[in-house]
């Protein structure tokens, strides 16, 4: 078995663990652990690359597993998100539902359109293109995890284990890009660098909170 397959499999497993930890923590704390926009983009990416832009059986199965787990994360958002959004933004239930539907639909449209444009960078290689789009949304997710912690000023929906597994899940597959096992471009490498910065910052903030708890 090649190193790149091992790293991809490890990344898939670590992200599955990350999702399960977030689901468990969300239910335990009666809140949503995955930032709203990240959840919408994740659902869209996983659906599109599992059912619309067919890759290979390995990636399709992983995307399908992630999609099912993200549906469970979406359930925690639907169950606990409105109260949070109502308190922070004074949204009515109708406005909340409109926001959810608009963001989900926009995310799906973006994921359907994006491969045609970004695919040029990778000569039509759908797996490479999917990976590049995933890095973009992963960077956004990393930033949002930091922001949601700073906003809440507590560990509701979050834990140090979530932070570490998320970081390792991205790092393990990024090694292939950083070591030139697979082709990359300067923009992609810079995005990977930024993800590492924000993931490590997130871990640092949580560790600092634990020490002063």
2-15 burial: b if 16+ Cβ within 10 Å, else e: eeeeebbebbbebb
pLDDT at 145 over 70: yes
Compute CA 134 distance to the chain's CA centroid, rounded to the nearest angstrom: 8
Q: Report the 10 Å Cβ neighbour count for 85.
A: 20
Angle at 171 between CA 167 and CA 172, to 5 degrees: 120
Q: Is there a contact between 96 and 90 (Cβ–Cβ < 8 Å)? A: no
**Which is nearest to 1 in space by CA: 127, 9, 15?**
9
Residue 204 has what pLDDT?
A: 97
Question: pLDDT, tens digit, for every residue of 41-66?
Answer: 999 999 999 999 977 888 899 999 99
Residue 203 has what pLDDT?
A: 98
Residue 176 has what pLDDT?
A: 85
Q: Which helix (H) or strand (E) holds 87?
A: helix 57-89
H runs (alpha helix) in 153-185 = 160-178
Q: Is the pTM of the predicted complex or chain greater than 0.85?
A: yes
- Helix (H, G, I), strand (E, B), or coil: what is residue 180? coil
Residues in the chain: 213
Compute CA 138 distance to the chain's CA centroid, rounded to the nearest angstrom: 5
Distance in angstroms (rounded) separating the CA atoms of residues 135 and 174: 9
pLDDT at 213 over 80: no
Per the rule left: phi > 0, alpha: psi between -120 and 50, beta: everything else, 85 is alpha
**Which is nearest to 66 in space by CA: 137, 156, 140, 123?**
137
Mean pLDDT of the chain: 93
Q: Is there a contact between 63 and 11 (Cβ–Cβ < 8 Å)? A: no
pLDDT-based confidence at residue 1 (cuts at 50, 70, 90)? low
């Amino acid at each position: 078995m090649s190193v790149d397959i091992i790293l991809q499999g490890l990344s898939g497993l670590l992200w599955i663990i990350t999702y399960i930890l977030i689901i468990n923590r969300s239910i335990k704390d009666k809140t949503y652990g995955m930032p709203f926009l990240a959840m919408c983009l994740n659902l869209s990416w996983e659906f599109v690359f599992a059912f619309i832009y067919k890759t290979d059986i390995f990636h399709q199965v992983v995307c399908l597993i992630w999609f099912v787990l993200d549906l469970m994360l979406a359930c925690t958002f639907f169950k606990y998100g409105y109260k949070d959004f109502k308190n922070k933004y004074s949204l009515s239930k109708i406005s909340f539902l409109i926001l959810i539907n608009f963001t989900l639909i926009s995310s799906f449209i973006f994921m359907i359109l994006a491969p045609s444009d970004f695919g040029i960078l990778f000569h039509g290689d759908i797996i490479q293109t999917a990976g590049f789009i995933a890095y973009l949304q992963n960077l956004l997710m990393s930033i949002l995890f930091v922001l949601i912690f700073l906003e809440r000023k507590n560990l509701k929906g979050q834990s140090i284990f979530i932070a570490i597994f998320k970081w390792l899940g991205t790092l393990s597959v990024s090694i292939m890009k950083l070591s030139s096992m697979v082709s990359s471009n300067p923009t992609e490498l810079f995005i990977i660098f930024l993800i590492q910065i924000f993931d490590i910052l997130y871990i640092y903030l949580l560790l600092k909170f634990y020490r002063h708890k």
